Structure 1
């Protein structure tokens, strides 16, 4: 019997599956899904419609999803960005609208109730959030962009859609130092080890799978430990770290509960009793 597709990236249940899986998995019916976008700063994607379920990943403000089903206040969705599948509250969604014009290019920023830093903040936005700008203004020399909902964001904190925060994803990863570790987190407010890789690469105009096992299986090409250099990745079972230089790593980790920098050799020695030796090394291309 053929193994079932990876449920993280393929939407299927006994009663319902995405149209692309027709002929691959059995389901009561198949759907293409309805486009929608995320209307809250960060939405947790869970493996089942239950607030007590662990977080698999997160989707950010303005990111697109396909809604495959709605029931009891929950939506079953598939992310347009990385194909991740899961459940989130229907209240996190808005109808799909005009394509985003900009993306937040700093780790965190505020959406103010008006075009003035002295006005109350309506909500907070993470790096990578997609914005549709409908106007702009200036107050005391600071430019603001106006969002569809009427809120204002600092123009200097935004990049044109498709723009990058720089070409070196390791430098971008370094901007997250001391950001709290969060299992399943994928934002400037908290993130896990593989999200640090994915989010940093995204902001450098590159792509990476969401989870560390996916990254270890196919992101770039294998290299030997003695060949490690800046930008290479080190994998343990269930963990990934970024080489900042030939001897130092940056990683979101449960030891410091933050994004931290430490010598690779020290990390290997510290984690050996739990995770043994690294399982591989890869150079993203």
Structure 2
């Protein structure tokens, strides 16, 4: 049988997703059940074990397909990028109304009612998807109201799809100073490929999750002399977004933040410790 990338194909000796029937060996094949993330952010792990590091993260309102539930864990596949892994069962819900809006600022507070002086109940990252049922005003501040009565500042959200076609490099810049987090994919903590992916998803563009996937198939390869805003530079295990031909934006383990850096300075710094850039690519914009 074919050996497939387990990050993107759900298969184990006992169980596999139905579309892999005939391609992998498994005792059972299932279609899976649709569900949606019910918490602000949750790590997706390669094994059902909180001691294992995260591969990536999913945000409130994102869709998944659940293939298995056991011992308090769900084995899922993310709708946004096809990533497969495990997350705690209590972080999902089924049958709730579809999201209508998306958070468009780096982070936003959820209040128990439309009143900023109330203690917040949660912090949502950019990219979180919510179901808005109404609007409210209190002391000149405008809020959107969710189905449970909680509220967010209306200027922090937009209807889903409102940013489609926008400049994803501008979105990436909104994450400046966000802490670096291996496997992170939110305004609370993010890694290099997560920054690229989430910024592109915000503007209606699909992108693979991991750096090797992006280097292999995101857009088209280009030469350094062709660089323009929105192009990508890759090192082994790292990616950065060109803000302009001389400046990059990247989540990195040197500053431990999303930082703006002169490209040639970054090449010298990274090259002295690791390697030179391995390639440049232009996403389909």
Same fold (TM over 0.5): yes
Is the CA contact (8 Å cut-off) linking 1:105 and 1:165 kept in structure 2?
A: no
Structure 1 residue aligned with 2:243: 244
SS at match of 1:250: strand
Structure 2 residue aligned with 1:35: 34
Q: How many residue pairs end up in the alignment?
A: 284
Stretches of structure 1 that go unaligned for 5 or more consecutive residues are none
Is the CA contact (8 Å cut-off) linking 1:219 and 1:284 kept in structure 2?
A: yes
Residue 208 of structure 1 deviates from its aligned partner by 1.0
Structure 1 residue aligned with 2:113: 114
Residue 5 of structure 1 deviates from its aligned partner by 1.2
Is 1:155 matched with 2:154?
yes
Structure 2 residue aligned with 1:104: 103
Is 1:269 matched with 2:276?
no
CA distance in 2: counterparts of 1:179 and 1:70, whole angstroms: 33
Is the CA contact (8 Å cut-off) linking 2:110 and 2:124 kept in structure 1?
A: yes
4+ residue runs of structure 1 moved beyond 3 angstroms? none
Stretches of structure 2 that go unaligned for 5 or more consecutive residues are none
CA distance in 1: counterparts of 2:164 and 2:23, whole angstroms: 40
Structure 1 residue aligned with 2:5: 6
Is the CA contact (8 Å cut-off) linking 1:179 and 1:259 kept in structure 2?
A: yes
Taking structure 1 as the reference length, the TM-score comes to: 0.97
Question: Mean alpha-carbon deviation: is it higher for 112-121 or for 159-168?
Answer: 159-168
Is the CA contact (8 Å cut-off) linking 2:80 and 2:206 kept in structure 1?
A: no
Aligned runs of 1:1-285 on 2, under 5 Å?
Answer: 2=2, 4-164=3-163, 167-285=166-284
CA distance in 2: counterparts of 1:257 and 1:184, whole angstroms: 13
Q: Deviation per CA, 1:112-135: give whole Å up to 9, x if none.
A: 011111111011101111101122
Residue 89 of structure 1 deviates from its aligned partner by 0.6
Residue 94 of structure 1 deviates from its aligned partner by 1.1
SS at match of 2:199: helix
CA distance in 1: counterparts of 2:6 and 2:277, whole angstroms: 26
Residue 237 of structure 1 deviates from its aligned partner by 0.6
SS at match of 1:125: strand
Residue 13 of structure 1 deviates from its aligned partner by 0.3
Is the CA contact (8 Å cut-off) linking 1:185 and 1:195 kept in structure 2?
A: yes
SS at match of 2:215: helix
Question: Mean alpha-carbon deviation: is it higher for 197-206 or for 253-262?
Answer: 197-206
Is the CA contact (8 Å cut-off) linking 1:165 and 1:172 kept in structure 2?
A: no
Q: Deviation per CA, 1:20-64: give whole Å up to 9, x if none.
A: 111110101011111111111001000000011011000000111
Question: Mean alpha-carbon deviation: is it higher for 163-172 or for 147-156?
Answer: 163-172
Q: Deviation per CA, 1:173-213: give whole Å up to 9, x if none.
A: 11111100000000011100001111111112222111111
Question: Mean alpha-carbon deviation: is it higher for 17-26 or for 200-209?
Answer: 200-209
Question: Mean alpha-carbon deviation: is it higher for 143-152 or for 54-63?
Answer: 143-152
RMSD (Å) for aligned C-alpha atoms: 1.2
Is the CA contact (8 Å cut-off) linking 1:116 and 1:139 kept in structure 2?
A: yes
Residue 166 of structure 1 deviates from its aligned partner by 6.9
Residue 273 of structure 1 deviates from its aligned partner by 3.7
Q: Deviation per CA, 1:81-140: give whole Å up to 9, x if none.
A: 111110011111111322111111111101101111111101110111110112221111
CA distance in 2: counterparts of 1:165 and 1:142, whole angstroms: 27
